[in-house]
Chain A
Amino acid sequence: MTPTTRTRWAILSLTGPAYLWLACTIFLPIAAMLALSFLDKSPLVPKPASFTLANYGAFFGKPFYWSLTRWSIELGLWVTLFSFLIGYPAAYALAKRVKGRWREAIFLLIVLPFWSNALVRIFSWTMVLRSNGIIDLGVQSIFPGAPTVDLLFTYPAVVIGLVHSYLPYMILTCYIALQAIDDSLIEAGRSLGASKFTTFRRVVLPLSLPGIISGAALIFVPVIGSFMEPRILGGTKGATLGMNIEEQFTVTANWPLGAALSFILLAIVLVIFGILYPFLRKQGGAA
């Protein structure tokens, strides 16, 4: 065997199982869902199904779907923004300032939310955020007579719950990118006369951009499809497209409509990434 053939075989055998797994568990079901979205009846119903575009048409025909989609995207943007504002400084401190065993200890604390059940976490937020909850009692004890703090069943409550759930993703991806930045680069910038802020802006930030982008992608995509946190923390204020899609599968048993809505959401996400991709590549490369 020639070296190139051997290399090719090596690559195939190492990545083959992973791609096979992806094909069976992700691509095939998604392809089945795509086919389903063009039918007028769920295949589990014993009646012959026919091809129809009505499910996609429903999205464009009814204005409330567009409101839900807009809110879901807005929610994704808010959660990503706050995760970045909180997570990036935390990752920076962890990568550049904390040394030794403290680093492992803090890592553990960051990853700890992943060990608990997501639903339990969300319900505990209801106890913290409501009036007579922990925050309200805390404020009352420091400033007696202050107006009650009742955050539950509001939009901010949903954002808080989602940021809490997805923050570790941002911290971890930014940490990986930041700790790969050689300290000597920062020293070089400082020694050439740049202020701390300029060094950060021109050296550290562009080099850590890949970490920020992957963190943002890991957070944005699940959040726009989320339905658990909006349902429990939002009350009537947490309406998202994810909740409507869930109802199509569980309440109205209209699987084709649910599938069509899911793919429209997927298409919107791909369009957003398609638009942003050239800008991000340019930014990352210009450093």
Chain B
Amino acid sequence: MITKLQTNPGAYDVIVTNSAWNGRATELGVIQPIDTAQVSNFADLNPSFRDSPLLNVDGKTYGVAWVWGITAVAYSTEVYKDAPTSIEALWDAKNAKRVSVRDDAIEAVSFAAIATGQDMNHPTDLAKVKEKLLALKPNLAMLWTSEDDWNKQFQAKAFDLSVYWSGSALRSKTNFKLPVGYVVPDEGAVGWFDGLAIGKDAPNAEGAHKFINYMIEPTYYVEWATKVGAPASANPKAMAALPDSDPSKAFYSDEAAIKRLQFMAPLSDQERQDFSDLWAEVKTEYAK
């Protein structure tokens, strides 16, 4: 995303940014400050997302908190009658060649860090993280790269247990009618939130503000969540407006699960390179 914004200035009005990257985008000057007066629903947003230092720099808002979600464990309800409760299920010998994780260095390191009881954003013992990831080799069937990829392989029964995004899991269930179950393990999971930013030199900044306002309002969110499936909205009014039968309402109000989450934070260039090199080494071992 950062590369795309740098090489295509003035091409985009609204950009969806992960909270961990919004600060970097601000630093590099590819997004502009948002005039929150033009976004009438701004005050309704959950303060812990809305005022997060990840989206606000020097008193100016560079990202409007939009949705948040969880990266945890998705499983096939046909294979698992009871949801697995521990993250160790991914490493369980019973699941040889039935597990999939995303081909992403940061996500992989985060999960192994959580499984070894460390801070996922700044793990102190990377050697332990690497060992944990290498231990996954016998169970790993494949690495998925996109939601579409995941859906195709899950439907073809290439794997039963996987690390997956909450919004996408609900979407796979609602929209594609796949037998997906989702659970936040006892050891914890990755929490993330996305913001909506406006590109520097956006062709239509005024329209961008209006669009962002529309994206965070309840009526749009309810339609999106009930018809297609969506992650949780950063606007508590939108969450409250969901019908009680909607699975995401119950899921995202599970306070105990939310307390177990570790939220993604920005990483330094060196940390990102270290994670990437670690993952590249692990993948080389997987291929042997």
- The answer to whether B272 and A239 touch across the interface, beta carbons within 8 angstroms, is no
Number of interface residues of A (CB under 8 A): 27
Q: Is A62 an interface residue (CB 8 A)?
A: yes
Instruction: Given A44-B7, A235-B141, A236-B140, verify A252-B272 contact (CB < 8 Å).
Output: yes
Which of B3, B104, B284 meets A64, CB within 8 Å?
Answer: B284
> Which chain A residue has the least Cβ–Cβ distance from B288?
A67
Among the 9-residue stretches B70-78, B188-196, B273-281, the one with 4 or more Cβ atoms under 8 Å from chain A is B273-281
Contacts of B273 in A (CB 8 A): 252, 254
Provide the residues of chain A in CB contact with B29, threshold 8 Å.
46
Asked if A238 is at the interface of the complex by the 8 Å CB criterion, the answer is yes
Question: Is B283 an interface residue when CB atoms closer than 8 A count as contact?
Answer: yes
Complex alpha-carbon distance, A130 and B287, angstroms: 19
Q: Are A253 and B2 in contact (CB under 8 A)?
A: yes
Q: B142 contacts A68, CB within 8 Å?
A: no
In the complex, the answer to whether B3 meets A238 with C-beta atoms within 8 Å is: no
Taking a contact as CB atoms under 8 Å apart, the answer to whether A236 and B284 are in contact is no
Q: Do A239 and B284 form a contact, CB below 8 Å, given A46-B28, A252-B276?
A: yes
CB 8 Å contact bits of A228-251 with B (1 = contact, 0 = none): 000100111111000010010111
Chain A residues with CB below 8 A from B20, complex form: none
Minimal beta-carbon separation of B23 from chain A (angstroms): 14
Docked pose: A174 CA to B165 CA in angstroms: 50
**B3 and A68 form a contact (CB under 8 A):** no
Chain A positions within 8 Å of B, measured between CB atoms, are 44-46, 62, 64, 67-68, 71, 130, 132, 152-153, 231, 234-239, 244, 247, 249-254
- List 7 A–B pairs whose Cβ atoms lie within 8 Å, in order of A's numbering: A62-B277, A62-B281, A153-B158, A234-B287, A237-B286, A251-B104, A251-B276
Interface residues of B (CB under 8 A from A): 2-3, 6-7, 28-29, 103-105, 137, 140-143, 145, 156, 158, 269, 272-273, 276-277, 280-281, 283-284, 286-288
